[in-house]
């Protein structure tokens, strides 16, 4: 496994539409392992392949409930609404308020190209939407309400 370089906003690779995966080759298995390592190292909860410069429809997510791999994911159902801060490893140090569905159902393939269907609420639903947007060349900044703000180290002031 190896860390990959996370592309930052302004890199044209982040604006491209990614290609579907037809076969999970050893190279793709290695990419997925590297994406997890890169995401965990950066303390992220999700990473899409274009963020490491690969234009394939692959997403990794871990919101604290275990690793999830999504290949060729599609959102098939949404409901409700949540409004809250969202950030992105491709825009370090920034966050902004984005409204997303509170419930999302996704169909995809797993690492063995088995069909899977997953449901998520709250943070997981947000991660599904955010990462799948990356596969179509979209950043959360297009959906931000009221501009971006800086996020630094966690401070006690946030409690008050």
The active-site residue out of 131, 142, 157, 160 is 131
Q: Is 131 a catalytic residue?
A: yes
**Which residues are registered as beta bridge partners of 115?**
109
88 is in an annotated binding site: yes
Rg for the chain (alpha carbons), in Å? 15
Question: Taking the complex as a whole, how short is the minimal distance between the CB of residue 95 and Zn ion, in angstroms?
Answer: 11
CA 7 – CA 23 distance, rounded (Å): 25
x/- contact string, 75-104, with Zn ion (CB under 5 A)? Answer: -------------x----------------
Distance from chain centroid for Cα 44: 9
Size of the residue set binding Zn ion (CB under 5 A): 1
Residue nearer to Zn ion on the CB measure, 3 or 42? 42
* Contacts of 19 by beta carbon, 8 Å cutoff, 6+ apart: 55, 56, 57
DSSP 90-113: TSTTEEEEEEE-SEEEEEEE-TT-
Residue nearer to Zn ion on the CB measure, 24 or 61? 61
* Feature table: binding site for Fe cation: 88, 130, 134
Name the residues that contact Zn ion, by CB under 5 A. Answer: 88
* Feature table: binding site: 88, 130, 134
Catalytic residues: 131
């Amino acid at each position: 496994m190896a860390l990959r370089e996370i592309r930052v906003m302004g890199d044209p690779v982040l604006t491209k539409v990614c290609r579907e995966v037809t076969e999970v080759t050893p190279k793709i298995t290695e990419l997925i392992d590297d994406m997890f390592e890169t995401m965990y190292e950066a303390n992220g909860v999700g990473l899409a392949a274009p963020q490491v410069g690969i234009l394939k429809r692959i997403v990794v997510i871990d919101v604290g409930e275990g690793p999830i791999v999504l290949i060729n994911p599609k959102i098939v159902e949404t409901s409700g609404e949540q409004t809250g801060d969202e950030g992105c490893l491709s825009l370090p140090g920034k966050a902004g308020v984005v409204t997303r569905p509170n419930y999302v159902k996704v169909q995809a393939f797993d690492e063995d190209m088995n069909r899977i269907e997953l449901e998520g609420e709250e943070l997981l639903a947000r991660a599904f939407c955010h990462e799948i947007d990356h596969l179509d060349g979209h950043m959360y900044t297009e959906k931000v309400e009221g501009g971006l703000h800086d996020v630094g180290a966690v401070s006690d002031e946030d409690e008050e």
